Each structure stands twice: as structure tokens, then as C-alpha cells.
């Protein structure tokens, strides 16, 4: 391939990915009372309005709690399952792996319907708990993939050495394996958190009436029109979902570097 053409093409692809997002950030500082062009001046006004919007603040709290719990539960399940698949000979391990990543391959709408109808059949009504279960099930595959990849890279010898020196398997896990696995555990949790924080399709099916997460709140607000507040909220979300993982990745890298020494 012609290298200059490829380079130009790549620049265009990156522009395509980033320009729309940049426009959201740009417009969130627009003084204009409509959430669109022309830009009439620079203002923090919409961020203030956002901070005093109860519905949005409530949605933020819900999303934070939901994302955090999802991350903790699905990472715990994912780490345990990955340990079994990588460290033991399990009959049918290929099948089990496929089963664990199946939630990615089932269309989210179908997964949402199935879970909704099944829990309703059991007379379990829509609740925060049900929403949480739903989020756990479709973040699990990502955790399993990340953790497994890292676990394969950790040499078995280290664990065996610890055990031959008298450590119990549980001691070995907490003092040897888990610290080595920390970057992947961390990455898995971040993954689960951001996927949960961002999810909308499943959430629309599972959320109890009156409960909104940030994405469903935005979705509801979009039915009217794009208000400048949505752009401001978009900017905050972009900071949250990009800034937080970037800081997280920096921490994970430091953790990994420490181990290297």
C-alpha cells in the first residue's frame, strides 16, 4: 500500500472518530440558549445548571453505585473462573470459555428480554438488584478475557515455589497470584465499570420505574431536543469515562513497574 495514502487515511479516520466528540465539548461552553451553532460566547452556565438539576444528579448517583457494584461482583466471578480455566485441567474448558463470553455474542436486546421475562415469571419485580444482575452478566465476558490473558502470562513456577515452601493454596493466591494479577484485576474492574456506566439498551428494559441512570436520563432528555445541558452532561461524561480510566491505567502501569523491579 502507498504509505502516504495510508497515513492520510488514518488521520481522516481519527478525525472522524474525534470531531463529533470535540463538537460536544465545544458546544457545552456555548453561551447560546439552544444547544447548537452559532457560538455566541464562552460560558460555564450550562455546567452550573447541570449541577442544580436534581434528576441528573440522582441519575449520576445511581450510575456510580451500579457501576461500582457491577465491577466488584463481575470481577470476583471473572477472576475465580479464569483461575480455574488457566490453572487446572478442566474437561470441556473450550466449551466453558465460549459459555463465559456468550453474553457478548447474544444481542443485548434478546438478553434483556430473556432476563426480564424470566425474572418476571419468578415474580421478581423490576428492581435495582435485577438491574445489577443484568449488568454483571454482560460485563463478565470482558473481565474473563482480560484476566485470562494476563493469567496465562504469569508463570506457574512462582506459585509452585510458594506452595513447596509451605504456603496453602489460599495463602499462595493472596500473597503471590493476586498481586501479580493486580493490573488485570484493575483493568477488568475498569472495563466492567465503564461498560455498566455506559449501558443503555439493557438498562431501559430492566430499570424500575422512576430510576434513571445517566444514559437513560440523556435518552429521555433527547426526546425533546438537544439542550445545551445535554452537551454539558456529555462533557462531564467524557471526562468521567476517559479521564478516570486514563488515571486508572497510569496507576496500573505504576503497579506493574513496581513488580518489574
Site for other proteins in 186-215 (CB under 8 A): 194, 197-198, 200-201, 204-205, 214-215
247 touches other proteins (CB under 8 A): no
**Grid cell for residue 230:** 445535554
Minimum distance from residue 231 beta carbon to other proteins (Å): 7
| Binding positions for other proteins, 3-42, rule CB under 8 A | 5-7, 9-10, 13-14, 16-21, 23-24, 27, 34-38
Q: How far is the CB of 157 from other proteins (least distance, A)?
A: 19
CB-CB contact of 143 with 192 (8 Å): yes
Q: Are 185 and 251 in contact (CB under 8 A)?
A: no
Q: 61: closest CA among 173, 212, 166?
A: 212
> Does 97 engage in binding with other proteins (CB under 8 A)?
yes
Rounded CA-CA distance 144/78 in Å is 5
Q: At what angle do helices 93-105 and 128-153 cross, to 10 degrees?
A: 130
Residues 116-135 that bind other proteins (CB under 8 A): 116-119, 121, 133-134
Q: Is 235 helix (H, G, I), strand (E, B) or coil?
A: helix
Query: Interaction with other proteins in 54-73: which residues (CB under 8 A)?
Result: none
Nearest distance from C-beta of residue 218 to other proteins, angstroms: 5
Answer yes or no whether residue 85 interacts with other proteins by CB under 8 A: yes
Q: Which CB atom, from 58 or from 87, has the smaller least distance to other proteins? A: 87
Indicate whether 234 belongs to the interface with other proteins (CB under 8 A): yes
Is position 251 an interface residue for other proteins (rule: CB under 8 A)?
no
- Which residue of 15, 84, 124, 250 would you call a contact of other proteins, by CB under 8 A? 84
- The cell for 93 is 474448558
Binding-site size for other proteins (CB under 8 A) equals 94
Contacts of 228 (CB under 8 A, 6+ apart): 27, 28, 30, 32, 33, 34, 35, 45, 46
Which of residues 87, 180, 182, 256 is near other proteins by CB under 8 A?
Answer: 87
CA 89 to CA 96: how far, in whole Å? 12
Q: Which stretch binds other proteins (CB under 8 A): 52-60, 64-72, 75-83, 154-162?
A: 75-83
Distance between CA atoms of residues 37 and 26, nearest Å: 10
Residue 42: beta bridge partners?
Answer: 30
Provide the minimum distance between the beta carbon of 89 and other proteins in the complex, in angstroms, as a whole number. 8
227 binds other proteins (CB under 8 A): no
Amino acid at each position: 500500500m502507498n504509505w502516504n495514502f495510508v497515513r492520510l487515511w488514518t488521520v481522516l479516520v481519527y478525525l472522524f472518530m474525534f470531531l463529533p466528540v470535540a463538537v460536544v465539548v465545544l458546544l457545552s461552553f456555548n453561551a447560546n440558549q439552544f444547544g447548537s451553532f452559532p457560538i455566541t460566547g464562552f460560558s460555564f452556565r450550562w455546567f452550573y445548571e447541570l449541577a442544580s438539576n436534581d434528576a441528573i444528579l440522582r441519575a449520576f448517583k445511581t450510575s456510580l453505585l451500579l457501576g461500582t457494584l457491577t465491577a466488584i461482583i463481575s470481577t470476583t466471578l471473572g477472576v475465580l473462573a479464569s483461575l480455574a480455566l488457566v490453572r487446572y485441567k478442566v474437561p470441556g474448558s473450550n466449551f466453558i470459555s465460549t459459555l463465559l463470553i456468550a453474553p457478548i455474542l447474544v444481542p443485548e436486546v434478546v438478553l434483556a428480554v430473556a432476563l426480564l421475562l424470566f425474572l418476571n415469571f419468578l415474580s421478581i419485580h423490576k428492581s435495582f438488584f435485577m438491574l445489577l444482575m443484568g449488568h454483571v452478566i454482560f460485563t463478565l465476558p470482558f473481565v474473563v478475557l482480560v484476566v485470562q490473558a494476563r493469567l496465562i502470562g504469569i508463570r506457574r513456577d512462582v506459585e509452585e515455589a510458594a506452595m513447596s515452601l509451605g504456603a496453602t493454596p489460599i495463602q499462595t493466591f493472596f500473597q503471590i497470584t493476586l498481586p501479580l494479577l493486580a493490573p488485570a484485576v484493575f483493568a477488568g474492574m475498569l472495563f466492567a465499570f465503564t461498560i455498566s456506566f455506559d449501558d443503555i439498551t439493557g438498562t431501559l428494559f430492566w430499570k424500575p420505574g422512576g430510576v434513571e441512570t445517566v444514559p437513560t436520563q440523556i435518552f429521555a432528555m433527547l426526546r425533546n431536543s438537544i439542550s445545551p445541558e445535554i452537551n454539558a452532561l456529555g462533557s462531564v461524561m467524557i471526562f468521567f469515562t476517559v479521564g478516570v480510566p486514563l488515571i486508572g491505567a497510569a496507576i496500573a502501569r505504576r503497579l506493574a513497574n513496581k513488580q518489574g523491579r
